[in-house]
């Protein structure tokens, strides 16, 4: 019978949602990587001086809800899509054709008990003046490729 294996199965489940709750993301696995990105695209999309993104394998996650997709070519040259809630306009996801099986989820939309643990900074070359990095994490001038 199913479920006979006891406590060894991984039950970590992560959910994220937009401000109004209509757009949601569920993943059955932890993120494969987390970064802080300072690129102009992230700054424009979020209105902040940087954004924290957790990357998940698309095979482990599912998006539900009303999506508004913006497609553009990022500084890296990759075709990128940003997905926002079409109701409240919260930007939640980004995808790149360079990493087709990975989806980026804006860390601030992920619900507790998830705690963002970024591994590095990206696009530090595009960072806004005055936002000093003091956390000691590795810094990459551009994106990961």
Minimum separation from the CB atom of position 110 to Zn ion (A): 15
Determine the 3-state secondary structure of 27 from DSSP.
Answer: strand
Site string for Zn ion, 24-63 (x = CB under 5 A): -------------x-x--x---------------------
Token pair for residue 96?
């790149």
| Binding region for Zn ion (CB under 5 A) out of 28-36, 84-92, 100-108, 125-133 | 84-92
Q: Examine residue 105 and tell whether it contacts Zn ion (CB under 5 A).
A: no
Q: Examine residue 91 and tell whether it contacts Zn ion (CB under 5 A).
A: no
Residue 57 has a CB neighbour count (10 Å cut-off) of 16
Helices (H) and strands (E) in the chain, counts: 1, 10
3-class SS string, 68-135:
EEEEEECCCCCEEEEEEECCCCCEEEEEECCCCCEEEEEHHHECCCCCCCCCEEECHHHCCCCCCCCC
Number of residues that bind Zn ion (CB under 5 A): 9
Residue closer to Zn ion by CB (options 2, 145) is: 145
Say how far apart CA 107 and CA 99 lie, in whole Å: 18
Q: Examine residue 88 and tell whether it contacts Zn ion (CB under 5 A).
A: yes
| Binding region for Zn ion (CB under 5 A) out of 24-32, 88-96, 110-118, 132-140 | 88-96
- The CA dihedral of 130, 134, 139, 144, to the nearest 10 degrees, is -80
| Binding region for Zn ion (CB under 5 A) out of 25-33, 82-90, 99-107, 112-120 | 82-90
Site for Zn ion in 110-129 (CB under 5 A): none
Binding site for Zn ion (CB under 5 A): 18, 20, 22, 37, 39, 42, 85, 87-88
């Amino acid at each position: 019978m199913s479920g006979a294996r006891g406590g060894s199965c991984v039950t970590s489940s992560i959910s994220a949602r937009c401000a109004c709750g209509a757009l949601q993301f569920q993943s059955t696995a932890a993120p494969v990587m987390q970064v802080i990105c300072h690129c102009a695209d992230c700054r424009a999309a979020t209105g902040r001086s940087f954004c924290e993104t957790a990357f998940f394998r698309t095979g482990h996650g599912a998006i539900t809800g009303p999506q508004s997709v913006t497609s553009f070519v990022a500084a890296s040259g990759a075709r990128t899509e940003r997905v926002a809630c079409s109701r409240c306009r919260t930007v939640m996801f980004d995808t790149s054709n360079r990493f087709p099986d990975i989806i980026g989820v804006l860390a601030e939309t992920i619900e507790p008990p998830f705690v963002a643990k970024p591994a590095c900074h990206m696009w530090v070359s595009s960072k806004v003046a005055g936002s000093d990095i003091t956390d000691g994490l590795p810094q990459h001038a551009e994106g990961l490729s």
